[in-house]
Chain A
Amino acid sequence: MSDSFDQISQQLKRRHRKSARLKYFSMGALGLAAMFLLIFFADMLNKGLPAFKQAMVNVEVNYSEEASRSGRAAIDRDLSSIVSRSVVRVIPLEMRNDPSLLGTTQTRWVLASAEVDQYLKGNRARRLDADDMARIDSLVASGQIEMRFNSGFFSRGDSKMAELAGIMSAVVGTVMTMIVTLAIAFPIGVMTAIYLEEFAPDNRLTQLIEININNLAAIPSILFGLLGLAIFINFFGVPRSSPLVGGMTLALMTLPVIIISTRTALRSVPESIRHAAFGVGCSRWQVVKDHVLPLAMPGIMTGSIIGLAQAMGETAPLIIVGMVAFIPDVTASFTEAATVMPAQVFTWSGEPDRAFVEKTAGGILVLLAVLISLNASAVLLRKKFERRW
């Protein structure tokens, strides 16, 4: 005799309870992950957004003979603790570029010092005494001190003065390094994958190569830095700290990612397309070039962009090849010293000045924005070029 429905549901109850429990656990895990992400973003925005604002002071600048030697002389001595020390260098430079300024007096906005900036943002400013604070408050009240958009953060290089420090040189360094990485890793990676997938016989040697490529993807990135130091810098004499050596080192790291994603993309092209192409008399290379590659391209692009994004966030190997450097001026060539965004963030995070905390967070925000837009472009490319068969 078989069991009745009631008996069966009785037995099922425990199983249903178990699956419900599992469902709630997974939902809880997802919720936890989402919460951490939210906290992370909120914290970054909270700390980083003030970096995009900067206090400016409206002062009278007296372009005197003395000011052309020391910029400090151009500004009222009482304001010297309020105006950024950067005027010492900037004003003589201005006068050299434009000699007609000599002897004139102009009222203009200049950078306030980081202390003032921090004070106005509600942080503790240790070097300001009560008099200074009172003066700042009255200047704010009379509109002589204003918070303005910190365009300098995006247009200047690094500086030891927090109010002057910007991320531009790091952005340029990152772009140059990525150009080198992509120029090396993309063609080599794609060609390697095409050879392994479409041409190479399946034997011991190619299996060995395959295993090693997969292992390469799992090597700690700092080892690539050591390799770059030993081979590119010490053996081949590539200039250290340069985008060239950084790009070459990161290319080694990106290579397995590109190879693996390209092979996956090639393998996902249906065999029937290859048969059709061989059937009309294509040579092996024509099959690849005219039929397989166009279909695999979205996958290859996505993989390469993901690999590039990974390389962009990499700091450890670049420390070894000397790319964590103080770079006040924008790098002009591939062989000059440069730094990259994550390295810049790393440098700022080590600065003792309170004002660098927001710079660090601001740098991370810029880096995150670039990475998110890169990943978004990978998704868009995939959608745009995806073809059906």
Chain B
Amino acid sequence: MSAKMPEMTYQSNPEIGQPYTRNEMACHDLSIRVRDLNLWYGKSQALKGLNIDLFQKNVTALIGPSGCGKSTFLRCLNRMNDLIPSVRIEGLVEMDGRDVNASKMDEVALRRRVGMVFQKPNPFPKSIYENIAYAPRMHDLVSRKADQDELVEKALRDAGLWNEVKDKLQEPGTSLSGGQQQRLCIARAIAVQPDVILMDEPTSALDPISTATIEDLMDKLKEKFTIVTVTHNMQQAARVADYTAFFHLGEIIEYNDTKVMFSTPAQKKTEDYISGRYG
């Protein structure tokens, strides 16, 4: 692999929640700290004692076989699991020194700082303009029409969609192609200026060209945002992620710098999974 490889030393006993190996190129300011996170759906436990530190302005990929809890974990970060009545959560998810699961934490405030992009593009059945402008207006980020126009343009530019839609902002968002819809959803998420963007298999419903566009976009977006993405596609994780966490049966088996994880995995299970022996 890269020439830097020998400098990265495998730590046999890393600090709890830290990746085994640090990527020297990446930013290491803490964004979200997770400690002893357990989650139950009714009686069955879906997440078992998770510890992980997610770093700002990095892309962290969550990989693992189906049903391993990676999407469930992702939804813990903006409390989307609150919508499921039977869910019970224990443990700490900390952002900015605040426990996001605390009763004092307003989930609306949390979701304003932690945006989300879903597996299937789900633009609102409103105009392209309204898709972007709705949330900032709701959160009182803009008051004047001119500010709103500016914000819509900026969000669409950041999502790499502006040139394709600038002449048809009043057309319904659902009239776009699948890949464009997904970028519209990304633009919608970044329009409220969040710190973190969660992506739940954002490209699994898209064709390879749209997927490549979204991957390039993630690379650009990480200059401003912390991105946590769930993916089934290991090549994608290898391409876009700075860090990768491997989930198996509700546990994090390995959390490491992506390059190291894919070249020299520390655990046998990780190696089996990424070499395609199961999953």
A281 touches B192 (CB 8 A): yes
From A276, A281, A282, A290, give the contact of B122 (CB < 8 A).
A276
Chain B contacts to A: CB under 8 angstroms: 78, 80, 83, 85, 108-109, 111-112, 115-118, 120, 122-125, 134-135, 138-139, 174, 185, 188-189, 192
A202 touches B188 (CB 8 A): no
Contacts A202-B85, A389-B174 given; indicate if A272 touches B122 (C-beta within 8 A).
Answer: yes
Shortest CB distance B104–A (Å): 16
Beyond the given A276-B122, A276-B124, A279-B118, please list 20 additional residue pairs across the A-B interface where CB-CB is below 8 A. A270-B122, A272-B122, A273-B125, A274-B83, A276-B185, A278-B80, A278-B83, A279-B116, A280-B115, A280-B189, A280-B192, A281-B135, A281-B192, A282-B108, A282-B135, A283-B108, A290-B134, A291-B124, A387-B125, A388-B125
Shortest CB distance B148–A (Å): 15
Write 8 A-B pairs (CB below 8 A) sorted by A numbering. Answer: A272-B122, A275-B83, A276-B188, A279-B78, A280-B188, A280-B192, A281-B108, A388-B125
From A202, A279, A389, give the contact of B125 (CB < 8 A).
A389
Instruction: Tell yes or no: A295 within 8 A of B by CB.
Output: yes
B174 contact set on A, CB distance < 8 A:
388-389
User: How far is B48's CA from A259's CA once the two chains are assembled, in angstroms?
Assistant: 42
Closest to A277 in B: B124
A123 contact set on B, CB distance < 8 A:
none
CB-contacts of A333-389 with B (<8 A): 387-389
Instruction: Tell yes or no: A286 within 8 A of B by CB.
Output: yes
User: How far is B188's CA from A291's CA once the two chains are assembled, in angstroms?
Assistant: 15
Q: Is the interface of A mostly helix, strand, loop or mixed?
A: helix
B108 contact set on A, CB distance < 8 A:
281-283
User: How far is B124's CA from A286's CA once the two chains are assembled, in angstroms?
Assistant: 13
User: How far is B112's CA from A272's CA once the two chains are assembled, in angstroms?
Assistant: 18
Contacts A280-B134, A281-B111 given; indicate if A272 touches B118 (C-beta within 8 A).
Answer: yes
B125 touches A295 (CB 8 A): yes
User: What are the 5 closest A-B residue pairs judged by CB atoms, nearest first?
Assistant: A280-B135, A272-B122, A279-B116, A281-B111, A281-B112
A273 touches B122 (CB 8 A): yes
Instruction: Tell yes or no: A201 within 8 A of B by CB.
Output: yes
User: How far is B115's CA from A232's CA once the two chains are assembled, in angstroms?
Assistant: 52
Most B CB within 10 A of own CB, among A270, A281, A295: A281
Shortest CB distance A273–B (Å): 6
From A275, A291, A388, give the contact of B80 (CB < 8 A).
A275
Shortest CB distance A227–B (Å): 35
A281 touches B138 (CB 8 A): yes
B188 contact set on A, CB distance < 8 A:
276, 280
